[in-house]
Chains A and B, each alone.
Chain A
Amino acid sequence: MKWRLLLCGLAAVGLAVVLPHFGLAAEDPGAPAPSPTAADYPRIAGMTGRPVVWALAQMHLFLAAFVLAVPMFVVAIELTGVLTRDERYDRMAHEFMKISMAAYAFTALTGGALALALFLFYPVLMGYLLRVFDGQVLIYALLFILESLLLYVYFYTWNALRYGDRKWIHLSIGVLLNAVGTTLMFVANAWATFMMAPSGVDEAGTPLGSVWAAMQGPLWNPLNLHRFLANIAYGGAIVGAYAAYRFLAARTAEERAHYDWMGYTANFIAILGFLPLPFAGYWLMAEIYAYSQQMGITAMGGVLAWLFIIQAVLIGSILLAANYYLWCGLMRTEGGRRFVPWVKYIAAVLVAGFLVWVTPHTLILTPQEVLAIGGTNHPLLGPLGIMPAKNTAVNMMLLATFLSFQLFRRASRTPTVPWAWIGNCVIAALYLAATLNIVGAGIYGYVTPTVYKVGASVPQVLSTLAVIVFALVIEAFMYRGAVTRPVAWGRMSTRSQYALFVLPVAFTWLMALMGYIRSSVRTYWHVYTIMKDRSPDAYIPTIGEAGNFITVITLVFMAVIVFIFWLSQVGDTRQQAPAAEGGR
């Protein structure tokens, strides 16, 4: 595998150095953006570029998100192990890395294939991007090599640098690995956001001379933050599925206990990354609207708007699955049983929020149905189709999820500080005040002009964040010196593990869907308003066509993930030595 990676790394550098010279050498660095013709888009084996590049880019993104995320939380878990002097954390962190290592080769392979496909199918566009970003693609390739080296050093020195000062050296390598990995992602993000909202070029697309200016488009940092958080949630979800897979296959109580704990940790990481994610997504969409209202409307009010309803279904499924897993986890401790009656109320909030979120603004109806209703907007449900209702629903669902998480944390601990009852009162009052503020801001959106309606979503977000931050801070003081009850790791139902399988499937589907939307908002432009796409694929596919394509990519990726899980498991399997036979 190491040799394969080395070859991929060399191939990446080779591509970066050699391919720009194919038909691009004559390009004047100070020229405006080229205007390709239909003849500039080759067909290879009867195929146009879009399906090939779409599938490869999405596969590479899934894998890259996973392999960049895992070392982030692995370093955090490893550090926890050092600080708590609990060897279990160290073992778990090492096991998480093992899964990531198996996925790394696939990431490199899909990345190399994507680069090749881009240069073959879109040579003019790639030539222009290389010109705008100057030698940055070479820096990217070198960063990739550095990332690979650090990843291997980090993984293979795990046992050699295990204790004392050496452990801190190992942790430092991990931090360095994450710094390089994050930089790598930020560089690639700059290329994607340049195509959506170009900067550092004039109106004709002539580079103004600074790569840094081309990178700093208005969407760069929102996308950086969104992908950073999404990667953590995604990585957590995938390793959670691995833990569930091993839990279901476990033959001993010890194994079940270990993988139950691993699944719990993974679910915790996934929720941790997921809770702030809608806010990062909101920032990204707000910046898209600020950059180009037309682009924003294409995404959320036009041809792609129905996909946001599917997004709501998928996010609702993720929240229901994550909460269900937490509720099942309440049964691991005796103290958790007292919270079980609360579950039905949390479930009611989640289901109500889910239903509001999936309610479309405009229904697809037959002429008879339009006549019966008196229009395409349902008189009762229609008002639930607009953003104030959706924002309210999402924030309430996030609050409910955080409450589930809080109950789960409390299940195994009893506070000993005398003022614990005051802390509980303050937290309960915080929930009530935040809920009223979120619902109130939602209603406010119906009675005020549009700009105020949009503006009122920010206090809603801040209300949810305030609950999370203040409740965690108060609890941190409240549970100092708390009595900890034993947790019966492994005492989980089989069906709870299927909730852990739902998470990566829904996340993968969601990423494919939203990635498609993000890319499609450019409509018939390669680089928005600067360079037109004149290929036969310069159209937005129908929802059905896009949905099918996204689903196929998701299924292929899940097959790859199952293979990676199997590889990781088989790596732990040792064949018994054959018994001596008949004196031989």
Chain B
Amino acid sequence: MAARALVFLLAFAGWAVFFYAVDWLVMTAQGLPVGWNLMPLS
């Protein structure tokens, strides 16, 4: 059970980083500059 929880958490962290990177890149590629927290840069 503990092994499953650990694998799940590691996988979740990996996917979270992946989606964060996708979000940042996609917004920037659309000409919408965003900061590290994905909020619009004024």
Contacts and interface: CB of A to CB of B under 8 A. Distances in A.
B15 A429 contact: yes
B40 A449 contact: yes
A425 interface: yes
B26 A458 contact: yes
A483 interface: no
Nearest to A444: B38
A445 to B, nearest CB: 12
Contacts of B40: 448-449, 452
A430 B17 CA distance: 11
B2 interface: no
Given A425-B11, A452-B40, A459 B4 contact: no
A487 B34 CA distance: 51
A459 B26 contact: yes
A363 interface: no
A458 B29 CA distance: 11
Contacts of B15: 429-430, 432-434
B26 A432 contact: no
Contact of B23 (A430, A432, A449, A459): A459
Interface residues of B, number: 21
B12 to A, nearest CB: 4
B22 A462 contact: yes
Contacts of B8: 425, 428-429
B12 A459 contact: no
Given A452-B40, A455-B32, A458-B26, A425 B7 contact: yes
Interface in B2-42: 4, 7-9, 11-12, 14-16, 18-19, 22-23, 26-27, 30, 32, 34, 38-40
A422 B7 contact: yes
* Interface SS majority for chain A: helix
A426 B12 CA distance: 7
Contacts of A428: 8, 11
Which of A422, A426, A433, A466: most chain B Cβ within 10 A?
Answer: A433
A432 B27 CA distance: 22
Contacts of A433: 12, 15-16, 18-19
Interface in A289-310: none
A16 interface: no
Say which size band chain A's interface belongs to.
20 to 34
Contacts of B4: 421, 425
Contacts of A466: 18-19, 22
Contact of B12 (A429, A448, A449): A429
B7 A462 contact: no
A466 B17 CA distance: 13
B11 A441 contact: no
A1 interface: no
A570 B12 CA distance: 56
A456 interface: yes
Interface string A422-461: 1001101110111011000100100011011001101100
A168 to B, nearest CB: 41
Contacts of A449: 40
B19 A434 contact: yes
A458 B30 contact: yes
B30 A437 contact: no
Contacts of A437: 19, 23
B2 to A, nearest CB: 12
A463 interface: yes
Contacts of A456: 27
A462 B20 CA distance: 12
Nearest to B12: A429
B19 A463 contact: yes
A426 B32 contact: no
A441 B40 CA distance: 13
A456 B19 CA distance: 12
10 closest A-B pairs by CB:
A433-B15, A429-B11, A429-B12, A437-B19, A425-B7, A426-B11, A425-B8, A459-B23, A455-B32, A455-B30
Interface of B: 4, 7-9, 11-12, 14-16, 18-19, 22-23, 26-27, 30, 32, 34, 38-40
Interface of A: 421-422, 425-426, 428-430, 432-434, 436-437, 441, 444, 448-449, 451-452, 455-456, 458-459, 462-463, 466
Given A448-B40, A459-B19, 18 more contacts: A422-B7, A425-B4, A425-B11, A429-B8, A429-B14, A430-B15, A432-B12, A432-B15, A433-B16, A434-B19, A444-B38, A455-B26, A455-B30, A459-B27, A462-B26, A463-B22, A466-B18, A466-B19
